[in-house]
Structure 1
Amino acid sequence: MNNIKLPADDNSCGWFEILSPEYQQHMSEPNPISGVEKTDWLVIGGGFVGMSATHRLAELNPEQRIVLVDAQKIGHGTSGRNSGFVIDLPHKSDLVGDDIERKRKVIELNRAAIQYLEDKIMRHGIECQWSHAGKLQGAVSERGVKFLEHFQRLLKELGEPHEMLDQASLRKVVGTQYYQQALYTPGCPLMQPAALIRGLLAHVPENVSVWEETPILNLERRNGTWVAQTANGQVHAKNVILGTNIYTEQFGHMKSRMLPIMTFASMTRPLTDEEFSAYGGTADWGLTPADHAGTTLRMTQDRRLVVRNQYRFVPNYNSDLATREKIHVMHRESLEARYPMLKAVTFEHTWGGVLSLSSNSQAFFGELEPGLFSSCCHNGVGVARGTISGKLLAEMASGGDSKLQQNMQAVSGMPARLPPEPFLGIGVRARMAFAKWQSRSEV
């Protein structure tokens, strides 16, 4: 496995940078892996898939050893770079199609993930700004309003509670008249993603050994044992769970089936009392765009505004400083268009995070080879999907079965094969440019 692509995320992720010092410090084994580490279970990747799989494996197999490794500090990668929504309802690709029963299965899975996370948060006292604030979906233009109306019809068909807010009612919450209206749904918790994943890391069970900043450079099966090569040693495992998302293809699986797309966000410093008064809204809310290519907004409990928009196709899974500086300017334009009274409020952090998309809206869940399990390609809804699929992978690999596991298999599939380069890059960039043009009024 030569020329393997390793995570190389930027060092400006706001969620990670504002963590308390004790959460930023290493919570893993102090020395690099050297020689051979033998284990019953190896989990590669400490995001939401890997973390929930690790916890569940330890619960189900208390007499067995679990090793969790991550190429970066856990929470510094994709798991700590999302916008902090744990969405319960069908969202993005899960809205595709008319299969209402499939959508009900998605809701059941998402809510099981929420309950699993909340149980961990309450049991361990994890401080991550967890709240049942719900989610707003906002429309700027008539194009966005039509998306909202379509979603509202689906919610009525599903029997899900919701409220349509007009411009005046919405302004009292979000402090801006920029949006025509918004659809509010109450079942989506909000949180600080890096704090949540670091909190889960701090409370892994005693039969778990963790190594951060330990890339796996090669993975192969030898005589029925999985051998993972690190810079200075090896991990020999009976079973492996890949919580590696787009990096799964670096281990020889899902090649040419996942699109690496980077989304970008910027976070302000906390608003002063005077600035918060001028803003005129409330704290602790989240708004996703009615049109998926629009702008996501968060107001955190500590009065920081987070703006997320702009997408890039990133074959190398990372972005350069020049790109982020340009996007920083675009985010300022989006912020000031909504909050002209906050022009003096600066962004402290601008970062990118990689997600994986499939051309047929399918996510994978299951066994890739004997003893090798994976859940990946979550199409931009990875917190809930990653959490519950990691838990269910651990149960499947441990020989269990359940209705939830059957539901997960029913809503999963195989991401379609993508065309080769240069046709892939040309097509993806053209499609993204067209989507950006279509959604220009919503950004």
Structure 2
Amino acid sequence: MACKPTLPPLDRPTGWRPMDELVPVDESTPVDASYDWLIVGGGITGLSAAMRLGEVAPQDRALLVDARPVGWGASGRNSGFLLDLPHKFDLDHPDTARLDRIMKLNRGAIDRLHEQVDRFAIECDWSPVGKLQGAVKKRGTGMMARFCEALDKIGQTYEVLDRQGCTEIMGTGYYAGAVFTPGSVLVDPLLLVRGLARNLPGNVTLRDDAAVVEFAARDGGFTAKLRLSGGDTRVVSARRVILATDPYTREFGYMKNRILPTITYASITRPMTREERSRYKGRMNWGLTPADAGGTTLRMTADGRLLIRNHYGHAPRYRADGAVLARVAEAHKQGLDKRFPRLSDMPITSTWGGVVSLSRNHATYFGEMAPGVFSANCYNGVGMTRGASSGRLLVDLAVGHRSQALDDIIAVSGKPSTLPPDPFLSVGVSGRMKLVEWESRSEM
């Protein structure tokens, strides 16, 4: 098998930090011809795999590559929630033992990331403040009630807030109610992953300016042709490969017709001024996910920025169109103004799209796709904690290191079902997403 992967697009990157900060962490360390491991993808999955290799195989040499600077992809574009509870489709599953496994994986990932943040003094606004799941109108409050029933089923504590309780926290009376759960952590995701990238173990070489332009299985191992930022090319070989590439995994010849690349859109404001803070009557540093999966995610960051995320689309080319971004930015501004009319003069400074991978049957894949090739895919929109667990445990799977966590992630993973071919796929997905958006319009 040989392939020439499509590269991640040079679209508008995350707005968590100014664009001029999003430069390669390492574009100078020499690239050798041979390694024990090749890790493709410098997001949370690839970084977690690299960290684990330093623990269980420090004698092995690994090369971690990404075509774009660390933080360019989904791990730097998300809303910064490290979720401890099963989320969305997972929480609807009737098997409580399965849900318990997911919670253990998520909480273990949070604990490990916290230890790394402390050990390396990574400044990423680590905030163990829990999260809200909110509802605007009757559709959302009905789903909020089902969320409480699911939490009761798995024995988790929570607090139900009415409109006044929401107003006291968020400074807006827009929400009819919310459920507060205490275990999630809020972060600046860009600073988190770039902090990890700067502190990789000594047996791992990072080059986040190295695009894989050719990939092949050869002679019991694998070869990859890399194109570096200066235009030079290198051919490297490795015995084992971890594809921490999520939606791009299909570009390497695996998971074809099983991964649905989906784009979600976010906008962020500048920090509030002192005068604007005097007008704002809520707390700082909170996060809300919608009870209705088609609704709006909202953050008030530690430094006083508002982040809003909604609107979805099919992304077969992994990028956001400029015209779509302009329309989304306008819709996001209207959404913020409805929620925070006292802050209507606070401008949005950036709007961007982030590509995640979904599966038709909501299954997440984890395992060895072919001899020597390991991957985890289709996180279904909850990739930070699942990605942190997956990267670490893919290494354990590859080296034969058994653990309860490895048993758990195998038990809760599956095989994404096949997707229909185009044009049926594009038409069907676009129609389905428009229907979901229309049904959820009261929660936007």
Provide the C-alpha distance between the structure 2 equivalents of 1:246 and 1:430, rounded to a whole number of angstroms.
Answer: 21
Residue 344 of structure 1: aligned partner = 345
Q: Secondary structure at the match of 2:184?
A: coil
Equivalent residue letter for 1:214: A
Ranges in structure 1 where 5+ consecutive residues have no aligned partner: none
Q: Secondary structure at the match of 1:287?
A: strand
Residue number in structure 2 paired with 1:10 = 11
Instruction: Point out 4+ residue stretches in structure 1 off by more than 6 angstroms.
Output: none
Corresponding residue SS for 2:175: coil
Please give the secondary structure, in 2, of the residue aligned with 1:361. coil
CA offsets, 1:377-407, max 9 Å, x none?
Answer: 1000000000001111111112211111011
Helix, strand or coil at the partner of 2:312: strand
Determine helix, strand or coil for the equivalent of 1:234: strand
Shift of 1:26: 3.2
Partner of 1:354: 355
Contact conserved, 2:4 with 2:252, CA < 8 A, in 1? Answer: no
Indicate the residue corresponding to 2:407 in structure 1: 406
CA distance in 2, matches of 1:285, 1:123: 25
Question: 1:279 aligned to 2:280?
Answer: yes
Mapped pair 1:188 → 2:184: yes
Partner of 2:230: none
Describe the superposition over 1:20-52 as per-residue Cα deviations: whole angstroms up to 9, x where unpaired: x5xx4432141675xx52111111001111000
AA aligned to 2:92 is V
Question: What letter matches 1:27 in structure 2?
Answer: V
Instruction: Pick which of 416-425 and 150-159 moved more.
Output: 150-159
SS in 1 for 2:354: strand
Match for residue 152 of structure 1? Answer: 148
Whole-angstrom distance in 2 between the partners of 1:257 and 1:26: 31
Normalising by structure 2, report the TM-score. 0.96
Structure 2 unpaired stretches of 5+ = 228-232
The within-5 A match list for 1:13-52 is 13-17=14-18, 21=21, 24-30=22-28, 33=31, 37-52=33-48
Query: Partner amino acid for 2:104?
Result: E
TM-score (norm 1): 0.96
Q: CA deviation at 1:206?
A: 1.2
The match for 1:143 among 135, 139, 145 is 139
Q: Which moved more, 1:90-99 or 1:377-386?
A: 90-99
Q: Secondary structure at the match of 1:348?
A: strand
Shift of 1:207: 1.3
Please give the per-residue CA displacement for 1:277-322, whole angstroms capped at 9, x wherever unaligned: 2121111000001101100000000000001011111111101211
Structure 1 residue 18, shift from structure 2 partner = 7.3
Match for residue 245 of structure 1? 246
- Write the distance in 2 (CA, Å) between the matches of 1:377 and 1:32: 33
The change in CA–CA distance for 1:218 and 1:93 in structure 2 (over 3 A counts) is: farther
Q: Distance in 1 between matches of 2:224 and 2:3?
A: 14
Deviation at 1:3, TM superposition (A): 6.1
1:249 and 1:12, CA in 2 relative to 1: closer, same or farther beyond 3 A?
A: closer
Q: Contact 1:16 / 1:76 at 8 angstroms: preserved in 2?
A: no
Contact 2:124 2:189 in 1 (8 A): yes
Could you tell me the percent identity over the aligned residues? 45
How does 1:48-127 map onto structure 2 within 5 Å? Answer: 48-127=44-123
Question: What residue identity is the alignment partner of 2:250?
Answer: E
Which residue of structure 2 lines up, in the alignment, with residue 388 of structure 1? 389
Q: Which residue of 2 aligns with 1:313?
A: 314
Q: 1:16: how far off?
A: 3.7
One-letter amino acid matched to 1:51: L
Aligned to 1:133: 129
String of CA shifts for 1:114-139, please: whole Å, max 9, x gaps.
01100100111100000111010000
Per the alignment, residue 431 of structure 2 pairs with: 430
Q: RMSD between aligned alpha carbons?
A: 1.4
| 1:207-234 deviation digits (Å, cap 9, x = unpaired) | 1111112111222121112111113111
Q: How many residues align?
A: 438
2:163 corresponds in structure 1 to 167
SS at match of 1:220: strand
Which letter maps to 1:424?
L
Once residues 217 and 306 of structure 1 are traced to their aligned partners in structure 2, the CA distance between those partners, rounded to angstroms, is 35
CA contact (8 A) 1:57 1:398 kept: no
